[in-house]
Amino acid sequence: MSEAVRAAVAGAGSDGSGGSAGGGGGPVRAPRRAFEPDWLARIGWLAAILYVVYAASLLDFTWARFVTGLEQAARFLDRMFPPDFSRWEAVLKGLKESLEIAVLASVGGIVLSLPIGFLAARNLMPAWVNWPARALIAACRTFHPVIVAIIFVKAVGFGALAGILALVIASVGFIAKLFAEAIEEISLKQVEAVRATGASFMNVIVFGVLPQVAARFIGFSTYQFDSNVRNSTMVGIVGAGGIGAPLFVAFQRFDYDVVCAILIAIVAVVFLCEILSNQVKRVFGDAVRDGREPRGG
């Protein structure tokens, strides 16, 4: 008997078809499905869909109301155009203050997030150190920046200082959390190699940890700067400085053409900051990954 025939007979006997023909084989096994159904996941999806329908019914989310909202939105947009840039000096002053708030808050948040992120990393610090640090990060992420801005307005008064402090808290809650998670994903081989040379703890951090997370930290920082630019336009609504105050006043006066001009200016500033952030990531991020100095540095 050839090898091909012998292999075919062995395969037929292994799946039960050959054994049943001779009468001496065992019972034929039913073929198993390639992907077994996950009934628990299906029940979970069904429960989620039912809850969405239930919540929509409670919140009066109806198609008639949606259509009515579209008609009102069309009238509102009609009153916004053409935009009125006659108050460009006040708009420019508000945008300048918003940018100052975003820059100062980003710098303060980054400086505070570095040590807090290291303390919150579970692979570098003991539990009695990282748990309080993680609790602090969670507390900073609990409330929206507008809520925090209201608290600081009551504490330090109206103005840009309240907005800066509110966005510093928001920056710590975001950057420190992601920075701690990035540190927990590093390779400990490089850390152990630096530690084996007899380096101090700070040298281990500088030469063993930071090179592995520097590129990601730059990305986190630039993203938070973009977020602070956007949030600085909102905290002014509650009196924490920036362009939010003129925007809120224009809404109260029903000057929707002025509102449109302010919104266009905000969009332009956000786009410019996005371009700047991409340039910073390209220059410094690539330099860190390649192990060289940034261009011009």
Confidence at residue 141, expressed as pLDDT on a 0 to 100 scale: 87
Confidence at residue 31, expressed as pLDDT on a 0 to 100 scale: 64
pLDDT tens string 202-233: 888 888 888 888 888 888 888 888 888 888 88
CA of residue 200 relative to chain centroid, distance:
34
Cβ–Cβ < 8 Å for 158, 248: no
* Inter-CA distances, 94 with 7, 51, 66, 212, 248, Å: 82, 43, 34, 39, 12
What does the pLDDT average to over 157-178? 90
Where are the extended beta strands (E) located within the chain? none
Nearest one of 139, 135, 133, 140 to 118, comparing CA atoms: 133
pLDDT tens string 20-53: 444 455 566 656 666 777 888 889 999 999 999 8
4 pLDDT exceeds 70?
no
What does the pLDDT average to over 116-141? 88
Cβ–Cβ < 8 Å for 236, 247: yes
Longest Cα separation, the chain: 97
Pick 128 or 87 by higher pLDDT. 128
Residues 6+ apart with CB under 8 A from 230: 270
3 pLDDT exceeds 80?
no
What does the pLDDT average to over 254-282? 84
What sign does the CA torsion over 33, 34, 35, 36 have? Answer: positive
**Which DSSP symbol is given to 237?**
G
Q: Residues for the chain: how many in total?
A: 297
Cβ–Cβ < 8 Å for 145, 170: yes
- Count the Cβ atoms, other than its own, within 10 Å of residue 171: 29
pLDDT tens string 103-122: 999 999 999 998 898 888 88
Pick 199 or 163 by higher pLDDT. 163
